Amino acid sequence: MRTIDDIRMAARLLTGLRAFLAAPQSAEACRRRIEGQYRRRDASFLRLVERGIYRHARSPYRPLLEHAGIELGDIAALVRQDGVEGALGRLYDAGVRITLDEFKGRRPVTRGLLDLPVTGTDFDNPLLARHYETRTSGSRGAGSRLNIDLDLIAHEACYDRVSLDAFDLGARPKVIWRPAPPGSSGLKNVLRLARLGHPVSRWFSQTPVGSDWKNAILVHSVAAAGYLYGTPLARPFHVPLGNAVAIARWLAARRAEGTPAMLDTTVSSAVRLCTAAAASRLDVAGTFCRVGGESLSPARMEIIASAGVRAVCHYAMAEAGRIAHACADAEAVDDVHVAVDKMALLQRDVPHADATRPGFVVTTLMETVPRIMLNVEIGDEGVLVRRTCGCPWNALGFTLHLHGIRSYEKLTSEGMHFVGADLIELLERTLPARFGGAATDYQIVENEEAGLLRVSLFMSPRIGPANEEDVRAVMLTSLASKGPANRMMAQLWQSGGTIRVVRQEPQATAMGKILPWHVVRSREARR
C-alpha cells in the first residue's frame, strides 16, 4: 500500500508541475495573491479549524479543545471579538496549546485528566493535495515525514517575488547551496524560483545526491518534468562543507563577469565560503546571500561582510514553511517581517529548564501548510515588535517584525537540528555503554566560534581513557542510524568537522541541574 501511495503521489507531482510551471508569476499577480490571503486571514483560519480539526476525527486538537470546553462557534466568536491573535491568546490561556515535544510526538498531550498519546504525523494536514514528501531536519529527534503541496510553494514563490524586487535581485544569476532530498529547502528553492521565471543556475548540495533510491528518483523526475514542460530545473551537485572554496570560485567567476550572484544557503555555509574566499584570495564582493537555518548574529555577519558580501536572513520551519521575510529597511542584522497572511505569532512565557523563556507560539492560517499548528510552542525566542519601515513588506501590511531570533530548545549547526529523544538515548545509554560512566558524565554543548556554531561533547575526566575519534564515530553512527534525514545531518556534521570531544565536567544550571544539552551564546549573539 505504501508503494502504491508513493506512485500516486509521484503522478500528482509530475502532472501538477505542468500547471505550476506554465507561466512565470508577475510581481503584480504575486502582490494580489498575498494581499488577498491577508484580507482573508480570519476566514482562512476558521475554515482550517473547521475542516482540519473539528471535521478530522484523528486531530489531536479536537480532544484538547473538548477538554477546555471550546466549540467551533466559541472560536468564531472570539475571532470576531478580538481578532485571530486575541482569540489565540484566550485559547492559550485556556490550555489549548501544544509543546514542541508534544508536536514532535515525543510526549503525550497531558492536561488535567486528558492523557492523549500522539505521534508527529498526527498533526499532518489532512487537506493537502500531497504532491511530494520531504523530511524535517530532526529538531528534537529523528526527522519526520512531511507532505508538501505545490500550492504552498506557489504562494511562497510570491514571497520570493517581493524579496527579489525589494533587494533588486531579478537580474542576478541564482545559486543555492542547500542539501538535496531528503532535505526540503533545496528543492523548494528550485521550484519557487522557477515559478517566477528566475531558474536556479546551479544547485550545490552539502550532502551526497541520491543517497537513497526514492529521493534520487524524486530529484531526477522533477528535473525531467521541468525539461518536458520547457522550464529547466537545476539538479543538485555534491559540494561538501569542507570544499567551500568551490562555491567561492563559482561566485568569484560571476563577479568577474560583471554580475555578482544571489546565493541561498545556511548561515554557517555562508561563513565557510567567505572564509575560504579570503584564504584563497578570491573576490566574491557584491554577492548577495540569503541565509537561514541558524541564527545570524552580528559576529557572523561581520565575517560575511568582510568578504564584501551582503547577507539577509529569512526565518522558516519545515512543518510550516516561511515564517518571516528579510526586511530591506532593517534595524538589526536579522530583522524580518512576520508572514502574517499565513501565520499568527504570539509570544508567551514558556517554561524551560529552571526558568521561563519568552517563546514564540505559532498558529498556521492556510490549508496548504504541511502540518496544522494551533498555538504550538516552537522552542525559539526573540524580539517581537510592530513598526513602520520603508520596504515593500510594509506596504503590504506586514508591520510585525522579529529580530534577535534564537533557539532555546534545539542545537542548530550547519542548518541542521538535533535535540530530544535521540540525543538523550546517545548521552544516557549509547555512550555510557561504550565508554563507561553515567548519564550525567556526558553533555552536548553548542557555542559560536569564529562565526561557526560548534558542537562539543563534554565528557567527564573521571571516565577512563577514550580515543576522541572513536567517541566521535560512535556519536555520528548513533545519530545516523535513525533514518535518512538523520543520516544526511550526520554526514553534514562529519564533513564540516562540527563535533569535538572535550574532557570536561558537564555544566550545571543555576539550580544545579545537569541538562543533556547546553547552549552557550557569544556576547555578540546575546546583544
For 40, residues 6+ apart whose C-beta sits below 8 A from its C-beta are none
**Could you tell me the residue range of the domain that residue 429 belongs to?**
416-526
Comparison of pLDDT for 329 and 351, the residue scoring more:
329
Q: What is the reported pLDDT for 372?
A: 96
Q: ∠ CA 181-289-169 to the nearest 5 degrees?
A: 105
CB atoms within 10 A of CB 241: 23
Lowest mean pLDDT among 35-39, 149-153, 319-323, 406-410: 406-410
Express each pLDDT in 188-197 by its tens digit.
999 999 999 9
CA-based torsion, 467, 468, 473, 479: positive or negative:
positive
Residue 18 lies in a domain: no
| Whether pLDDT at 213 is above 90 | no
Lowest mean pLDDT among 30-34, 174-178, 204-208, 451-455: 451-455
CATH of the domain at 446: 3.30.300
Q: What is the mean pLDDT of the chain?
A: 86
Q: What's the total number of domains in the chain?
A: 1
Residue the block writes with cell 528579510: 326
Q: What is the reported pLDDT for 527?
A: 32
Name residue 357's beta-bridge partners. Answer: 350
Name residue 412's beta-bridge partners. Answer: 417
* d(C-alpha 136, C-alpha 483), whole Å: 11
Express each pLDDT in 349-362 by its tens digit.
998 766 788 999 99
For 244, residues 6+ apart whose C-beta sits below 8 A from its C-beta are 269, 272, 273, 275, 276
| Whether pLDDT at 327 is above 90 | yes
Helix (H, G, I), strand (E, B) or coil at 42: helix
Reading the block at residue 171, the C-alpha cell is 537580474
Q: Stretch 27-47: mean pLDDT, rounded?
A: 97
Q: What's the length of the chain?
A: 527
Q: What is the reported pLDDT for 353?
A: 66
Residue 279 lies in a domain: no
Residue 517 lies in a domain: yes
Query: Which residue, among 152, 140, 54, has the nearest Cα to 370 in the 3D structure?
Result: 152
| Whether pLDDT at 519 is above 80 | no
pLDDT category at 142 given cuts 50, 70, 90 is: very low
pLDDT category at 509 given cuts 50, 70, 90 is: low
Q: Give DSSP secondary structure letters for 360-382.
A: EEEEE--TTSSB--SSEEEEEEE
Residue 444 lies in a domain: yes
CB atoms within 10 A of CB 73: 8
Residue 138 lies in a domain: no
Reading the block at residue 184, the C-alpha cell is 526540503
Comparison of pLDDT for 285 and 207, the residue scoring more:
285
Residue 148 lies in a domain: no
Residue 243 lies in a domain: no
Q: What is the reported pLDDT for 418?
A: 54
Q: What is the reported pLDDT for 137?
A: 47
Antiparallel, parallel or unpaired: β 411-413 and 452-459: unpaired
Q: What is the reported pLDDT for 288?
A: 98
Express each pLDDT in 443-493 by its tens digit.
888 777 766 767 888 998 888 888 888 998 888 888 777 666 677 777 777
| Whether pLDDT at 283 is above 60 | yes
**Angle, nearest 10°, between helix axes 298-306 and 267-279?**
40
Lowest mean pLDDT among 24-28, 147-151, 455-459: 147-151
| Whether pLDDT at 525 is above 60 | no
Express each pLDDT in 238-265 by its tens digit.
998 889 999 999 999 999 999 999 999 9
Residue 439 lies in a domain: yes
Q: What is the reported pLDDT for 523?
A: 42
CA-based torsion, 253, 259, 264, 266: positive or negative:
positive
